[in-house]
Amino acid sequence: MNKGLYVILAILLLVLIYFNLGKLPFNAPELADCLVTAEERIVRGTSFSPFIEPGQTIKVLFNYYDCHKIERGDVVLFNYAGNKNPLIKIVKGIPGDKFELRKSGAGWHILINNQVVKNSKDEPYFISGNRYKMLSLYERDYKGVIPENAYLLLSERVGGSVDSTVFGLVDKSGIIAKVDIGINK
């Protein structure tokens, strides 16, 4: 092949990389860390009913958060030390959010940015007892602001499940994947 053909092929390769990856090749080492892998997993718990039922197969995107920000409304897999299987939770609070617990009757509502946090059925989360105590420690210690790399993870159950009402705010490192179930944020 002649030198001109090599140049044309190199330019075509650069154009393909740019349009397919959205980055120029000088960022290639960064891109190697952002390889998202999809796996199908079978759900074992009931804390996300009716959207995710036991026995249902879900699509899990591992390494997704190496390339993307965790956003409010994301459904995630969380590696909880108390369980051998990761937990499916929804992100309700992100770093920088104002976080508050407000007394209501015999329990407390969780507020993020002055809004009562609700599940996908528009039902407000309502916690009591030890669940309140766990989250109140975070509210006090962080002066009502969710710190950097910390997240409030809840289930679909408004009274709580094994979620942040039990284990508190979680570090980003414990969020191991994004779950693609197709519910709206």
Asked if 120 and 150 sit in the same domain, the reply is: yes
Structure tokens at 66: 């190496």
Asked if 140 and 76 sit in the same domain, the reply is: yes
Asked if 78 and 16 sit in the same domain, the reply is: no
pLDDT in tens, 55-72: 889 999 999 999 999 999
In a domain, 75, yes or no: yes
In a domain, 66, yes or no: yes
pLDDT in tens, 92-146: 999 999 999 999 999 999 999 999 999 989 999 999 888 899 899 999 999 999 9
Asked if 81 and 137 sit in the same domain, the reply is: yes
In a domain, 146, yes or no: yes
Query: For the chain, what is the mean pLDDT?
Result: 84
pTM, full prediction: 0.78
In a domain, 174, yes or no: yes
In a domain, 185, yes or no: no
Q: What is the mean pLDDT of residues 77-94?
A: 91
pLDDT in tens, 5-36: 555 555 554 554 555 544 434 444 444 567 99
Give the Cα separation of 73 and 90 in Å (integer).
6
Asked if 77 and 160 sit in the same domain, the reply is: yes
Q: Residue 161's pLDDT is what?
A: 87
Residue 74 predicted with pLDDT over 60: yes
Work out how many domains the chain is built from and give that number: 2
Give the Cα separation of 54 and 46 in Å (integer).
6
CB 43 within 8 A of CB 76: no
